[in-house]
Chains A and B, each alone.
Chain A
Amino acid sequence: DSGVTQTPKHLITATGQRVTLRCSPRSGDLSVYWYQQSLDQGLQFLIQYYNGEERAKGNILERFSAQQFPDLHSELNLSSLELGDSALYFCASSVDAAFYNEQFFGPGTRLTVL
């Protein structure tokens, strides 16, 4: 158990819809990272928040957005969903902002878009 929690575990929705994925980092960790893992794209870094502020951006689509709240939990919002957005979405946390720190991954949310 990494100490990172993600909800929900599974999400099934239709194209065009909007969903919110939630992540609670390990106690004491200030950084949260979001990743997408799909069969065709592999593992991709989406975005990082550090202590409430956006820190780094990867391959995140404009239809996706994230935020980190004062209690340090984070939400990833996916809108205008397409079939290709079906994937496992992981969040990870680390103690500070540097990418070279060990990241602790949550169990993931499996999103299925029908």
Chain B
Amino acid sequence: SQQGEEDPQALSIQEGENATMNCSYKTSINNLQWYRQNSGRGLVHLILIRSNEREKHSGRLRVTLDTSKKSSSLLITASRAADTASYFCATDEGNNDMRFGAGTRLTVKP
């Protein structure tokens, strides 16, 4: 069963714009990770944020975590056509299980 819920389900933007995706979850977590998946291919790890962190950056990616609201957001700045993919959040509850959300399908138009 899934733990995280991404929002929106699909997002279409122009190259150069910023893309924001949100993830909400239900239970306490140890950490939250974001992954990217190009169509039909394996997932690529993007960034991990621990429960005691509020914000993390990696290149054009910015992730925030609000444990009081049980939510996280992924911001991709200055998007490129190559960013077109599905993005998933995954939560680690510390019970040796990892739960993925349903994903946000991002389309970046050139």
A interface vs B, CB < 8 Å? Answer: 2, 4, 42-45, 48, 55-59, 88, 90, 92, 99-100, 102-108, 110
Task: Tell me whether A99 and B92 are in contact (CB under 8 A).
Answer: yes
Q: A42-B2, A100-B30, A100-B92 in contact; A58/B44 too (CB < 8 A)? A: no
B interface, over-half SS: strand
A45 to B99, CA, bound (A): 7
Instruction: For residue B94, give the distance in angstroms from its CB to the closest CB of chain A.
Output: 8
Task: Tell me whether A45 and B42 are in contact (CB under 8 A).
Answer: no
Q: Which of B48, B98, B100 has the most CB of A within 10 A?
A: B98
> A-B pairs with the 9 shortest C-beta distances?
A105-B42, A56-B96, A43-B100, A105-B43, A102-B45, A99-B92, A45-B98, A100-B31, A42-B102
Task: Tell me whether A90 and B99 are in contact (CB under 8 A).
Answer: no
Residues in A with CB closer than 8 Å to B44 are: 2, 105
**What is the size, in residues, of chain B's interface with A at 8 Å between Cβ atoms?**
24
Q: A42-B2, A100-B48 in contact; A108/B102 too (CB < 8 A)? A: no
Task: Tell me whether A107 and B103 are in contact (CB under 8 A).
Answer: no
Task: Tell me whether B98 and A58 are in contact (CB under 8 A).
Answer: yes
Within 8 A of A (CB), among B15-47: 30-31, 33, 40-45
A42 to B98, CA, bound (A): 13
Instruction: For residue B93, give the distance in angstroms from its CB to the closest CB of chain A.
Output: 9
